[in-house]
Chain A
Amino acid sequence: MRIPCPHCGPRDEAEFAYRGDATKQRPAPDAGIEAFHDYVYLRANPRGWHEEWWQHAAGCRAWLRVRRHTVTHEIAAVTPA
């Protein structure tokens, strides 16, 4: 898999670190323990398109928001975080 870094151009996946699900939004401080449990621990495992954080850790260090297909590894969009 290659990820087209908006700063560096297409780079091998080995240069990137997966930084998690980009769809999760931090709940309001008073949202309660259940909402925070969901936010910290519960993740969907979609077969198909997924929004993800990737960091170009061995390159320009930038965090990127990547739209990736979890079956084909096709990448539809990459934007700086």
Chain B
Amino acid sequence: MSAVEPLHPLAGLMPAPLPGPDPLRLGLPRRELVQVTARHGADPTGLGFALPGPGESAETAGITALWMQPRGWLLSAPWDGEGALLTRAAPLAPAAALVDQSHGRCTIRLAGAKSRAVLAKLCRIDLHPRIFGPGRVAATQVAHLACLLHQAEPEAFELIVFSTLAANLLDALASAAAEYGYAPG
């Protein structure tokens, strides 16, 4: 089945590349997002893996589960058609409320040797590897915006933010990265 992938909410707003000594790679991956909120007294299972504890993520079969709040998670997966992730998450439904957030929120990815240094200018949590690290998640503020911050790889972070506020965040990230340079990627 060929699914038409909708535009990322920031499509067309990516700044022109800025040359620099160690450019940050700014990416706009189009993801499906499903919010999972456990029902009172219920334990959502059925995805084939345990939903992660506070500040953690878990990944299986292309679905990444991010801890978002007590008894609340966000599932993220590459775009596979409108509602596809919601369908895959259906086994959780008896124990949890599922809400498709694929359009309400979007993902910005930053990668490169300076990604942590750029984020450190904009957020107040300790991202040093002895505290944070690959797989860790924080619901926190970045550039004064409430974000879900996920360290996807040793040198790559993903920010999930309300789509209506995302342009401001992209702008702030580009400004913070100016001394190193940046490019789409």
Contact = CB atoms under 8 A, between A and B. Distances in A.
Contact of A7 (B70, B124, B125): B70
Interface bin, chain A: 10 to 19
A67 B125 CA distance: 23
Interface in A50-81: 57-62, 80
Interface of A is mostly: loop
Given A60-B69, A61-B69, A8 B55 contact: yes
Most buried by A among B55, B70, B144, B146: B70
A58 B148 CA distance: 10
Given A12-B124, A14-B124, A58-B146, A7 B69 contact: yes
A59 B139 contact: yes
Interface bin, chain B: 10 to 19
B54 A7 contact: yes
A62 B139 CA distance: 11
B69 A58 contact: no
Given A7-B70, A60-B69, A15 B54 contact: no
Contacts of A12: 124, 141
Contacts of B141: 12, 14-15, 58-59
A59 B124 CA distance: 12
B173 interface: no
Contact of A80 (B55, B70, B125): B70
Given A7-B54, A9-B55, A60 B68 contact: yes
B174 interface: no
B69 A62 contact: yes
Interface in B106-138: 124-125, 138
A15 B138 CA distance: 12
Most buried by B among A8, A14, A15, A80: A8
Given A8-B55, A15-B140, A61-B139, 12 more contacts: A7-B54, A12-B124, A15-B141, A57-B146, A58-B139, A59-B139, A59-B140, A60-B54, A60-B69, A61-B72, A62-B69, A62-B70
8 contacts: A8-B138, A8-B139, A14-B141, A15-B124, A58-B140, A60-B68, A61-B69, A62-B69
Interface of B: 54-55, 68-70, 72, 124-125, 138-141, 144, 146
Interface of A: 7-9, 11-12, 14-15, 57-62, 80
